[in-house]
Chains A and B, each alone.
Chain A
């Protein structure tokens, strides 16, 4: 694909993203126009009064704050004389992201190691694989309360939860990827009397990279979710999980703040995903012509 084609595609993607955002905005406010609470002139940027014909419970100002209210909430202090909400949320986002990143890294390293070990030691694989698979049926998030209390270590225990959610997809995909080379390529290495080590690093591992990145993308999301959930029972107030709990408690007084927190959480998830995607492009873009 030529450069101009690539720019055209990027432009199309940005346009479609904007279109979707605009659509969401229209549906949101449209719902409130038709069935929300009364629009007061001092509470909307257009300064108009409007009494919607119907009343939907979901569209009330409490349940579905106006989009501009959510936007404005970022700039206002969350509590009396405090810093603007945006500052708090950014701090919380970085805190949670750090937990997620640490957990992600640990889980990824563990997954890679297991994948490599399982490829070379079949007995180990046969004994342990059912547990690796079984581990994922244990809802770690459900155990989160106990893990937190058990490890007592604050944000580290949250990172452990994130690691737990990461290691499984990485293990499975590393294993698949390490086994993916063309049999002829393996014969080639054998014809060179290459050691297992050389075969691993010069053939199997590079072949596995696309698979590993697929797993890392899944793990990125999972580790953010794990971090947020992990914060709930642990009483950690500095992260997004804590912020969600906090603003949920005081929902009546300011629903926009909760929505703002959720939007920031969404951004963290998406940002992590984009970072992994970029890393994937950096590592793999030489391999195939980009498909149009």
Chain B
């Protein structure tokens, strides 16, 4: 019964919206090709399933590659500099500023460096997009430790290395996962959008723009739905891993009462 209470309202809203959308498109003929009816999109989906899966996978690889490179580097740099607070304190404002930069603007440069058809160019964009939030949050997690806990370790005459491993790193895990969730969603979007600046014909983003240019919007929509599903998939995987890795964290416990 709780299941109904929890999923009922959104499910109802979803069905109602789809139905309304379908109805409106059928009645008001105008928007037919700009905002296709759900049924048309559904058909396009099935028709182009092969191609969609192909381009979807192509771009997913870019996103995953970029995610891997960016997070590894981000966490790595954070670990390397956390030891010398002066360095990390100096780097942080720069990293935060760099995070405000529209990295996507570098897409053309990377295309020129690595070749417009080369997925590596897009992978590097994703890596840069992901790097800064990962680095910033990892540094925060490593440094925002309860002073009392640090004093405790000090009283055990623990070495800096031990403090890092046994205190700072576990402390940082919730922060890292929090950033990872953001990174996971950004990675897919970053890959698709960077392809808007031009890319291989096997890419999802290129598919979207080309189909839109040919006024076959239902195909573009179908591709976007694929991209969304993959993005949600990334996010769910991170949540799953988080549940296994940090079951002790307060955000993993049951709902609290207000």
- A: residues with CB less than 8 A from B are 12-13, 16-17, 19-20, 57-58, 62-63, 123, 126-131, 136-139, 141-146, 149-150, 179, 183, 220-221, 224-225, 228-229, 232-233, 240, 244-245, 248, 251, 255, 258-259, 261-262, 265-266, 268-270, 272-273
A232–B197 CB distance below 8 A: yes
A265–B231 CB distance below 8 A: no
B9-27: CB near A (< 8 Å → 1, else 0) gives: 1101110000000000000
B227–A142 CB distance below 8 A: yes
Q: A131-B10, A220-B100 are in contact. Are A145 and B193 (CB under 8 A)?
A: no
Main secondary structure of the interface of B (DSSP, over half): helix
A-B contact pairs, 27 of them (CB 8 A): A63-B109, A63-B112, A123-B9, A129-B10, A130-B10, A131-B13, A137-B228, A139-B189, A139-B224, A142-B189, A143-B224, A144-B196, A183-B258, A221-B100, A221-B101, A221-B102, A224-B102, A225-B103, A225-B104, A228-B102, A229-B104, A232-B196, A248-B197, A266-B102, A269-B100, A269-B101, A273-B100
Q: Is B248 an interface residue (CB 8 A)?
A: no
B52-81: CB near A (< 8 Å → 1, else 0) gives: 000000000000000000000000000000
- B: residues with CB less than 8 A from A are 6, 9-10, 12-14, 31, 34-35, 90-91, 93-94, 96-97, 99-106, 108-109, 111-113, 185, 188-189, 192-193, 196-197, 205, 208-209, 212, 217, 220-221, 223-224, 227-228, 231-232, 235, 258
Give Cα distance in the complex from A58 to B124, angstroms. 14
**A16 — which chain B residues lie within 8 A by C-beta?**
90-91, 93-94
Give Cα distance in the complex from A229 to B125, angstroms. 14
B12 smallest CB distance to A (angstroms):
7
- The closest CB in chain A to the CB of B12 belongs to A127
**B112 — which chain A residues lie within 8 A by C-beta?**
62-63, 248, 251, 255
**A20 — which chain B residues lie within 8 A by C-beta?**
90-91, 94
Given A136-B185, A228-B105, A244-B108, 11 other A-B contacts at CB below 8 A? Answer: A128-B13, A137-B228, A139-B231, A141-B189, A143-B224, A146-B220, A149-B34, A149-B212, A248-B197, A269-B100, A273-B100
**A258 — which chain B residues lie within 8 A by C-beta?**
108-109
A248–B108 CB distance below 8 A: yes
B100–A141 CB distance below 8 A: no
Q: A149-B34, A221-B102, A262-B105 are in contact. Are A233 and B189 (CB under 8 A)?
A: no
B224–A142 CB distance below 8 A: yes
A126–B104 CB distance below 8 A: no
Give Cα distance in the complex from A17 to B95, angstroms. 10
B251 smallest CB distance to A (angstroms):
12
A17–B108 CB distance below 8 A: no
A70 smallest CB distance to B (angstroms):
12
